[in-house]
Structure 1
Amino acid sequence: MTDARDREIVRLAVPAFLALVAEPLFLLADAAIVGHLGVAQLAGLGIAAVVLQTAVGLCVFLAYGTTASVARHLGAGDLRGAIAQGVDGIWLAVAIGSVVTVLGVVLAGPLTHLFGASPEVTDPATTYLRIAFLGTVPLLVMLAATGVLRGLQDTRTPLAVAVGGNVVNVGLNLVLVYPVGLGIAGSALGSVLAQLVSAAVFVLVVVRAARRHGAPLRPDVPGVRAAGRAGVPLVVRTLTLRAGLLVTTYAVTLAATGPRQQAVDLATHQLAMSLWTFLAFVLDAIAIAAQAITGRSLGAGDVAGTRELTARMIRWGVVSGVVTGALLAVTSPVLGGLFTDDAAVQDLLVPVLLVAALAQPVAGVVFVLDGVLIGAGDGRYLAKAGVVTLVAYVPVVLACAARSAGLVAIWVAFCAVFMGARLLVLLHRERGDAWLVTGVVTAAPRVTP
């Protein structure tokens, strides 16, 4: 039984990890393509990407919430209900995406001007963003459909679509940017077309499953509303996490003692955070497996099994964190040279990465427990825990900045206080029983047509 459960975790986590890694790797390819147009276009892409990723990132609950609800129905033996719940999530994605698209296209100019960049940068950023927002609906549909398939314990199909869609994206970018001559607009258009293709594939897979099991495809208004209400706490959770990262960057800026030091600290911080984010994909893959398995187990009413699986996944998180931490520590002296020739940045990056390496086992447990509680549908607690964590962290990191404590001290605060507080609130919840709600919770029954 133990080996079987370990194999199940690996079966779900490995494709999830590869799908998570595929996205940033192809985004780098997009940046390389646009980068050859000029510095202004590359800077514009950077601004547009931040705006778009923030808008889409706040909707990640479409994947997480759908995974949990679909998995619960699956565990309860209601495959038709599981797919119907997923269809509601996809319709919610269409509704939210439509609103975001209109707002994004209308507000593209003002949003890019908020960054205070020159017109040489703002103009291409606005051009890219206005076109890219047209892909919001397919992007959110992809999130919801990914949640459906994860809830059905299928992480391989999202991987295949992620890789295929991103290959199409790169190919279209290469053609539209240069031979066709559309420039940065061609990059945005290529991405939108690739997102449409990927969303169409996802929808086709879900529609086939719905027809095979007799699940309705039309929108169920009570179900869509229930999915929306369930997503609100996860939005709050996501906002608190993003706020923590933003205030950390703000503290780095304040702590610097001069223009040169500020440039070095911000460059080092950016590199360290990029590496931290990349390693988080490894740990987050286990969290995705935790979401799917926990939801299914609780849907089946298996509290003892859920406890056992949670303990096992925590051990997986610790081991994975030790491995990623060791790799980061060993490679820290050479990683800086891969990204910059600046000796000051290279030197400062080493101690920062050593601090990050020590925190990897903590991060492993935090990400796993986050996934477990998301899978359990415990979004309200996660929202409250995020607020508590932020309240504990902000005064500490700003105090470091006020005292010009330096980048290493800020990273110590980030790892010890921010990640430490997340660990404490999650362990506290896991040790109790309030999150172990079994069966299927529905807001209103669907009427079969």
Structure 2
Amino acid sequence: MGPPSAGDVRDAADRTRDRATATTTRRPRDGDRRRRVRGSVALADDARRRRAREADAGLPVELPDRHPADARAGVGLRSTPPERRNGLDAVTPRPDEFEHEAAGAEFDVTPDPLARLAAEATEPETGVGPAEMDVSRRAPPRRLPDLTTGPIRSGVMLLALPVLGEQLLNAGVAWNDTYLAGHLGAVATAAVGFGAYISWLISLLFSLVGIGATAIIARAVGAGRTRDADEAANQAMTLAVLLALAAIVGMYWLAPPLVRLLGLSASAGPLATRFIRIDLVGYVPESLTFVGAACLRGAGDTRTPMKIMAAVNVINVLATWGLTFGWGPLPELGAVGIAWGTVTARLLGGVLMTIILLRGRGGLRMSTDLLWPHGNWMRRILRIGLPASIDSAIMWSGHFVFLAILTRAPTRWPDDVMFAAHIVGIRIESLSYLPALAWSVAASTMVGQNLGAGNPRRALAAAREARNQAVGLLLLTGSLFFFGAETLFRFLSADPRVIECGVPALRGLAFVQPFVATLIVYLGALRGAGDTTVPMLFTVLGFAGLRIPIAYLGGVVLEGGLVGVWSGMYVDLVARAALMAWRLRSGRWQHARV
């Protein structure tokens, strides 16, 4: 039998391609990539031996002048013919091949054009065009950990600790604002505190997008669908900006009626309105920062949002102090300087997040082609995020009614003192709430990615591990609340009446900290699975059935002061924690559609 011809080589490549197409229809994951590279090397060796035999027999061998990978990239024909040695090309490896290898992506290792062509023929048909292939194969600048394998405890910690750092920085900014307002008087504390509640309302609007994007991206990354994750991130950013623009228009006109509805004093009301309207300037950059961070967390990158927020918070503190007291050339604006300092920091955050996502991070990249509104993607995001947003809106509305009860409860203090004590107490309470939120984010990402990978048991184990770690941390903060309540209040307020009013309520809150951890972490786990409707119903029950009635009973009817009003919060937190634990144990969240 004579040596095989070039046609035999092409026929063998066709048969290899047919077998690969019949057995592989999905985009390869890491293990498949390693097998693909080994298979490509074997095929290259086989093709090289066959072509050597052809050359020895004097048979003509057809060599393409255009590299297949260059053809896909749109590179023109080579200007000079390849050097030939005994019928073989002396092909110099291209630099981009080593870049792909370093990034852990697929690359072509076959050493000559015909073998390259045969190896390319073995790639499965994906049904996507060149642009989609480029996006799907793009390796992130920093390789993210695989959250679907390995130890769960360290995986949870790896996700939670950067978020904890970010949340503590956020708490530091909130404490900074309260500290500045507290040393300007009870009127400034009440006005800035009400402005903070409005800012919270706007952040809940952005969570409508962020929660949906996190669930979809985490599920897509777990299943290896990187193209879907990229599209979801871009559509989420577009939707966030549209909502921010709507919020600017709406809140400009709603600010005065909301202030009047709450019943702030004649001194605090106008200042609160002015604070809110200044804050409007930062809504669009805040939306970019908030939703961009949610997208990155869904992809498993919690470090980048922490770094961005670190820069934002440093600028926030410096700008608020400088504008409040008039450092150097800056004007002395008083309480209004707190609002302008916050806006300055938000502008920085929006710019940083946009630059990072345009360059690509965590496997995600902003692209003008993908930012144009797409109805199907936006409906998917809203279908998951809307129940969670309604949940948050109900919670905010409940807090608003809660504040209205607080301002109308009989008290021996002047009008703004109990309200200021409540604001300071909530700031202190964030020392436990924000760390619990960090483990909630970890649970959300772990649950979403493991459900996407088809491993619900590991998803459940991750949720429980996150809860256990959060409970241990909040037991420490509970001890701090009980034994250090007076010291904490003295740090944030110089008014002895505010301190005397708020310390007993904070000590009562210390006893419910384990329930706070359970509630927040399990809520994050359910949202990561896409199960957002049932938790929304739990929130309605907790606020309408427990928190508001008990707060009214304890604060207005029984005249229990701040402790009487907060008693409704204590009961609500315990009850909803039990309901979240029951929902997680039922397992129905594992079948939620995203």
Partner of 2:211: 64
Contact 2:436–2:521 (CA<8 Å) still a contact in 1? Answer: yes
Is 2:437 the counterpart of 1:284?
A: yes
With over 3 angstroms needed to count, the CA separation of the structure-2 counterparts of 1:333 and 1:116, relative to structure 1, is closer
2:353 to 195, 202, 224: 202
2:453 to 266, 291, 300: 300
Question: Aligned ranges for residues 50-449 of structure 1 at < 5 Å?
Answer: 50-108=197-255, 111-112=258-259, 124-173=271-320, 178=326, 179-181=329-331, 183=333, 188-209=339-360, 217-219=370-372, 220-256=374-410, 258-260=411-413, 265-332=418-485, 334-340=487-493, 346=499, 349-393=502-546, 394-401=548-555, 402-415=557-570, 417-437=571-591, 441=594
Contact 1:255–1:403 (CA<8 Å) still a contact in 2? Answer: no
Contact 2:421–2:501 (CA<8 Å) still a contact in 1? Answer: yes
- The one-letter code sitting in structure 1 at the alignment partner of 2:559 is S
- The one-letter code sitting in structure 2 at the alignment partner of 1:414 is M
Could you list the per-position Cα deviations for residues 207-244 of structure 1 after superposition, in whole angstroms to 9, with x for gaps in the alignment?
33389778753332321233233322112111232244
- The one-letter code sitting in structure 1 at the alignment partner of 2:435 is V
With over 3 angstroms needed to count, the CA separation of the structure-2 counterparts of 1:284 and 1:413, relative to structure 1, is same
1:335 CA drift (Å): 3.5
With over 3 angstroms needed to count, the CA separation of the structure-2 counterparts of 1:47 and 1:294, relative to structure 1, is same
Q: Distance in 1 between matches of 2:337 and 2:590?
A: 49
Secondary structure of the 2:449 match is helix
Secondary structure of the 2:591 match is coil
1:291 CA drift (Å): 0.9
Q: Distance in 2 between matches of 1:431 and 1:42?
A: 42
1:137 CA drift (Å): 1.3
Q: Distance in 2 between matches of 1:333 and 1:168?
A: 30
1:7 CA drift (Å): 1.7
With over 3 angstroms needed to count, the CA separation of the structure-2 counterparts of 1:386 and 1:37, relative to structure 1, is closer
Contact 1:45–1:125 (CA<8 Å) still a contact in 2? Answer: yes
**Which region of structure 1 is more displaced relative to structure 2, 131-140 or 285-294?**
131-140
Q: Distance in 2 between matches of 1:279 and 1:105?
A: 33
Contact 1:83–1:210 (CA<8 Å) still a contact in 2? Answer: no
Total equivalences in the alignment: 438
Partner of 1:11: 158
Contact 1:291–1:372 (CA<8 Å) still a contact in 2? Answer: yes
Q: Distance in 2 between matches of 1:343 and 1:130?
A: 31
With over 3 angstroms needed to count, the CA separation of the structure-2 counterparts of 1:110 and 1:323, relative to structure 1, is closer
Could you list the per-position Cα deviations for residues 377-405 of structure 1 after superposition, in whole angstroms to 9, with x for gaps in the alignment?
11111111111222320333323332334
Q: Distance in 2 between matches of 1:298 and 1:276?
A: 33
Secondary structure of the 1:411 match is helix
- The one-letter code sitting in structure 2 at the alignment partner of 1:200 is V
* % identity of equivalent residues: 26
Contact 1:105–1:130 (CA<8 Å) still a contact in 2? Answer: yes
With over 3 angstroms needed to count, the CA separation of the structure-2 counterparts of 1:319 and 1:104, relative to structure 1, is same
Give the unaligned 5+ runs of structure 1. 442-449
Could you list the per-position Cα deviations for residues 177-215 of structure 1 after superposition, in whole angstroms to 9, with x for gaps in the alignment?
632437367654554343233112212222333897787
- The one-letter code sitting in structure 1 at the alignment partner of 2:358 is V
- The one-letter code sitting in structure 1 at the alignment partner of 2:356 is V
With over 3 angstroms needed to count, the CA separation of the structure-2 counterparts of 1:418 and 1:33, relative to structure 1, is closer
1:422 CA drift (Å): 0.4
Contact 2:183–2:493 (CA<8 Å) still a contact in 1? Answer: no
With over 3 angstroms needed to count, the CA separation of the structure-2 counterparts of 1:295 and 1:254, relative to structure 1, is same
Q: Distance in 2 between matches of 1:39 and 1:252?
A: 15
Q: Distance in 2 between matches of 1:281 and 1:322?
A: 14
- The one-letter code sitting in structure 2 at the alignment partner of 1:309 is A
- The one-letter code sitting in structure 1 at the alignment partner of 2:378 is V
Contact 2:549–2:568 (CA<8 Å) still a contact in 1? Answer: no
1:165 CA drift (Å): 1.7
With over 3 angstroms needed to count, the CA separation of the structure-2 counterparts of 1:310 and 1:112, relative to structure 1, is closer
1:17 CA drift (Å): 1.6
Q: Distance in 1 between matches of 2:488 and 2:180?
A: 24
Output the aligned Cα RMSD: 3.4
Secondary structure of the 1:181 match is coil
Could you list the per-position Cα deviations for residues 50-100 of structure 1 after superposition, in whole angstroms to 9, with x for gaps in the alignment?
333323334323322222211111111112221221111111101111111
Relative to its length, the structure with more helix (as a share) is 1
**Which region of structure 1 is more displaced relative to structure 2, 423-432 or 323-332?**
323-332
1:138 CA drift (Å): 1.2
Secondary structure of the 1:59 match is helix
Could you list the per-position Cα deviations for residues 355-377 of structure 1 after superposition, in whole angstroms to 9, with x for gaps in the alignment?
21111111111111111101111
Contact 1:37–1:183 (CA<8 Å) still a contact in 2? Answer: no
1:175 CA drift (Å): 5.8
With over 3 angstroms needed to count, the CA separation of the structure-2 counterparts of 1:2 and 1:358, relative to structure 1, is farther
Q: Distance in 1 between matches of 2:528 and 2:585?
A: 16
Contact 1:35–1:41 (CA<8 Å) still a contact in 2? Answer: yes
**Which region of structure 1 is more displaced relative to structure 2, 148-157 or 22-31?**
22-31
Contact 2:208–2:382 (CA<8 Å) still a contact in 1? Answer: no
Give the unaligned 5+ runs of structure 2. 1-147
Q: Distance in 2 between matches of 1:262 and 1:330?
A: 28
Higher gyration radius (CA): 2
With over 3 angstroms needed to count, the CA separation of the structure-2 counterparts of 1:420 and 1:121, relative to structure 1, is closer
Q: Distance in 2 between matches of 1:244 and 1:335?
A: 26
Q: Distance in 2 between matches of 1:301 and 1:240?
A: 33
- The one-letter code sitting in structure 2 at the alignment partner of 1:165 is V
Q: Distance in 2 between matches of 1:58 and 1:111?
A: 17
Could you list the per-position Cα deviations for residues 333-355 of structure 1 after superposition, in whole angstroms to 9, with x for gaps in the alignment?
54444345666665565543332
1:263 CA drift (Å): 6.5
Q: Distance in 2 between matches of 1:90 and 1:65?
A: 12
Please give the TM-score of this superposition, normalised by the length of structure 1: 0.84
Query: Greater relative contact order (Cα 8 A, min sep 6): structure 1 or 2?
Result: 1
